[in-house]
């Protein structure tokens, strides 16, 4: 971690901040989820950085990146990441995304196929068509999230840490530092991602042209992608592989880190 660097690029009309492990290694971009930031990848990236040059951006509205008044769809985020990849001169990196970051990664792979070697998607926010973004349930979800973030913005680090340990008791200790900092840094405007309409997954998935790994977990523990949705995704695109990791909910890498790393490293090895 001491050798990691930080920087920023101008992309798609914003300043995008990032962290980077560096080294003469194959590039790997890590796209975080809603209300997280780039350093939320730190525990996993410390392992992956032994083999890959890990680039961990703060998405718009998160961390130290710009927080514009609007522009929080998958397409907006994907354009940000495309500009980052080009600005840093990354040679067709693999891109690993979690939740919102998986939506970004999918859109990036679909819209900028020349930039993406492979896509890894950790429990993307792919709900059934009846619960698609932009509907009443997604608006309600966004407003609840906004209220939660505003309340967390007012907490001290110690109070936020205590709250995190109560809400997420199964996480490794190393996960909480990044999580608490991210919750204090996120701009409420970023929550528009959960409210505004993006291209639905059943339209994006068929457009992916690179090898793709969809990592799923247990819906009863909080994961979003159901078995039925995963099967539908695989039927839409033969390039998509499915890896189910039992015993985890939405934050798969935080709840089953060893199983997660084994799946991710095996897939990455097929790309480089």
Helix (H) / strand (E) element for 118: namely strand 118-122
How many angstroms separate the CA atoms of 235 and 244, rounded? 16
**Domain that includes residue 255, residue range:** 5-132+199-271
Residues in the chain: 272
> What's the confidence (pLDDT) of residue 143?
77
Q: Do residues 201 and 234 lie in contact, with contact meaning Cβ atoms separated by under 8 Å?
A: no
How many angstroms separate the CA atoms of 54 and 52, rounded? 6
> What's the confidence (pLDDT) of residue 205?
97
Q: Considering the domain boundaries, does residue 78 fall inside one?
A: yes
> What's the confidence (pLDDT) of residue 169?
87
Total structural domains in the chain?
Answer: 1
> What's the confidence (pLDDT) of residue 136?
62
* Three-state SS annotation for 151-213: HHHCCCHHHHHHHHHHHCCCCCCHHHHHHHHHHHHCCHHHHHHHCCCCCCHHHHHHHCCCCEE
Q: Do residues 179 and 40 lie in contact, with contact meaning Cβ atoms separated by under 8 Å?
A: yes
Contacts of 236 (CB under 8 A, 6+ apart): 202, 205, 206
Q: Considering the domain boundaries, does residue 169 fall inside one?
A: no
CATH number assigned to the domain comprising residue 112: 3.40.50.1820
How many angstroms separate the CA atoms of 94 and 52, rounded? 10
User: pLDDT of 223-269, one tens digit each?
Assistant: 999 999 999 999 999 999 999 999 999 999 999 999 999 999 999 99
Mean pLDDT by 10 residues, the chain (272 residues): 87 98 97 96 97 98 97 97 98 98 98 98 90 62 76 83 88 91 91 85 96 98 96 97 97 97 98 95
> What's the confidence (pLDDT) of residue 202?
96
pTM above 0.85, yes or no: yes
User: pLDDT of 189-220, one tens digit each?
Assistant: 998 898 887 889 999 999 999 999 999 999 99
Q: 30: which strand partners? A: 96
Q: Considering the domain boundaries, does residue 28 fall inside one?
A: yes
How many angstroms separate the CA atoms of 109 and 169, rounded? 34
> What's the confidence (pLDDT) of residue 132?
57
Q: Considering the domain boundaries, does residue 221 fall inside one?
A: yes
Phi, then psi, of 186 in degrees rounded to 5:
-65, 140
Q: Considering the domain boundaries, does residue 50 fall inside one?
A: yes
Q: Considering the domain boundaries, does residue 156 fall inside one?
A: no
Q: Considering the domain boundaries, does residue 167 fall inside one?
A: no
Q: Considering the domain boundaries, does residue 186 fall inside one?
A: no
């Amino acid at each position: 971690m001491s050798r990691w660097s930080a920087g920023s690029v101008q992309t798609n009309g914003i300043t995008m901040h990032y962290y980077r492990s560096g080294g003469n290694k194959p590039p790997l971009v890590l796209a975080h989820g809603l209300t997280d930031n780039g350093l939320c990848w730190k525990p996993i990236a410390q392992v992956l950085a032994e083999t890959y040059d890990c680039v961990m951006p703060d998405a718009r509205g998160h961390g130290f990146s710009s927080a514009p008044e609007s522009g929080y769809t998958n397409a907006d985020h994907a354009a940000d990441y495309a500009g980052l990849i080009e600005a840093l001169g990354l040679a067709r990196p693999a891109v690993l995304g979690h939740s919102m970051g998986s939506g970004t990664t999918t859109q990036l792979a679909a819209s900028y196929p020349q930039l993406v070697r492979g896509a890894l998607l950790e429990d993307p926010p792919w709900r059934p068509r009846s619960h698609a973004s932009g509907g009443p349930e997604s608006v309600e979800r966004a407003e609840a999230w906004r209220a939660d973030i505003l309340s967390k913005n007012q907490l001290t680090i110690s109070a936020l840490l205590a709250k995190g340990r109560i809400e997420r008791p199964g996480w490794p200790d190393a996960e909480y530092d990044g999580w608490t900092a991210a919750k204090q840094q996120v701009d409420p405007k970023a929550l528009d991602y959960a409210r505004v309409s993006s291209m639905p997954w059943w339209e994006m998935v068929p457009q992916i042209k690179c090898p793709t790994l969809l990592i799923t977990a247990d819906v009863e523990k909080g994961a979003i992608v159901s078995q039925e949705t995963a099967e539908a995704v695989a039927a839409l695109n033969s390039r998509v592989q499915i890896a189910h990791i039992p015993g985890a909910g939405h934050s798969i890498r935080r709840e089953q880190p060893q199983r997660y790393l084994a799946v991710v490293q095996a897939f990455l090895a097929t790309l480089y």
